[in-house]
Structure 1
């Protein structure tokens, strides 16, 4: 959510930032909406002030036994009272109109974010080679998993439809091992606090992290059995399956004022994630790259404005550590203005090499959001001056477990169809160092 006062103070800077995002100038429209809101507030206040003043005048008229004047004043009060609800409604609607418009506008990019229209404008930040020889090509993960008899898309489709998978045996254990390894790394070495959050959240939480209202079509909403049997679904409160643990983790500080000495707060969680993939028709239809349900380890930081840039680099390094320990080749891209997310000020994407597709694919996004989400959540801290100020929020994948599984299968595949298990995962696999079949 944007600060209308900052827009009023420097409308040209706001419009220039939107232009970098490929949007038309909006400051004039927003300022006009704010003027309408202010006018509505003033009208409601003037009504109440006049009523208060009249109450004193009526008392004076009655004391002076001026019944005619008292009656005239009381008639004016009655008219003001009658107009009051309409003025209050106009004030509320003007405020909602401004808030709704502000909520629909993406975050302003940082000055060092490269300009571009789409992913072709992204810029290489750094790259990392594995100690093992990088495979230039190979089988895709679904070919490997199906040949092992441990990855079943056909049965998953019978159960749930497309974009789901059933993992079995040692492949299911490998996915579990990856998630546990990531959690242990981030909690034991990177200072994140593990959280087991709800994976169903309310509208307010989704709005706070900016999944709503703009990205409603990409989400899964759920209703309880009573709602389905009773009144129409539109009349029932919704809960949302989380698209990422960013939603509950970031909202842990909603509607609160933290102490500065508490910051930074760093949270991590391993949860199922659910995405409708409404805009992904025809993309990555085979395999596990783009699923409706997947597991992910999320990283969230809550910090001060002064520390958020350094925290962003720290979060990126934490996510990179996962791939380094798995000995996977990857690169880090700085996303351009046309490719970064709605709530982001700046985003790094980590892309892992997948030899089956002979390309790099995203496995983590690490974003700094400034106070954009904090304003939507009313999440603040009290600084040394004693005044409340909005926190800065950051989020990143640390990393997507399903995509890590894909990367391991493709980069550690052997000519005989088996898959070598990265040495760092051996303690989580009971000492097993190779997957050879459906056990």
Structure 2
């Protein structure tokens, strides 16, 4: 996998990790608040004998919500029957964590009204986020509404004051909506990141498959007709030989030999064309490959050159593209063709993926490119620049009759 595409995957994995951590921290906020309340609660006003059971009930709900959140975050996370047991367990523990503090409020030992309201409303709040992640939004909201109604009815039956029930409901509604929005948006973000990763992988595979199909099509066009003719002539030579016409059979086999040699030459031409593509074709291919790897590629300039110089510059484009994909962490790349003094064509390939701490080394590709261009009087310069970019600059002298026309991409 090219470093650019690998860096994109690492970035997406970091986004997923940070999102998971933030969601788990929201759920784990409940036991943290319970522990703070347990440590700071006055023993006479809050009934120290009940603080530990209430804390244990809150921790049980936290475990249920964490398990529900884990199931909802698992890729893929279809909303189906495999979450029903987790949802039922989380709903039952949340209902108990909501009703028990409300039921204990008017009875000795007394619990503080603010603590009761926060506990009852918080039980519904901390369930809302994981439930939205694991179930469809409409089903999750319906279940939360049902739990709130059941909790209010149960607390009313246990003679809990209506004001305390109402305040707990307000806390659960406001905080629950906030948690629902936070978890739903995080789930949507994770879906986008995963889809982006799949899309980039598909684009890379399609680019490779398209190039294979093109090469296979060229080979088929070159060899298909010749192989058919060779087969027919071979059959004819066999038939003529069986009829005693050895001379004509030998002539047919000579034609077969000639066609086979022509086919070899045509295959070499196809392979040579594959290795030394037309300059414009190579530039378009480089732009397509770079964009498939997530690099924003900009192309400027167009040249009308004779075949030898086009081939040399096409090699330079291929070498520069390979360097961007293999040896950098680029986000953008610019391929520019320009002319200097109507005598020299300049090809520049720049990218922003240079590592400032690295020392440039001469690779075999640059050495081979330098030797190829030296035969035409060209020069190659490659290395990092002061502005943090890496540039491959090729200068090739033009024939007097050649011209360059600049055309923005």
The interval holding the TM-score normalised by the smaller chain is: under 0.3
TM-score by length of 1: 0.22
The structure with the greater share of residues assigned to helix is 2
Task: Please state which structure has a larger fraction of its residues in strand.
Answer: 1
- Greater length-normalized contact order (CA 8 Å, ≥ 6 residues apart): 1
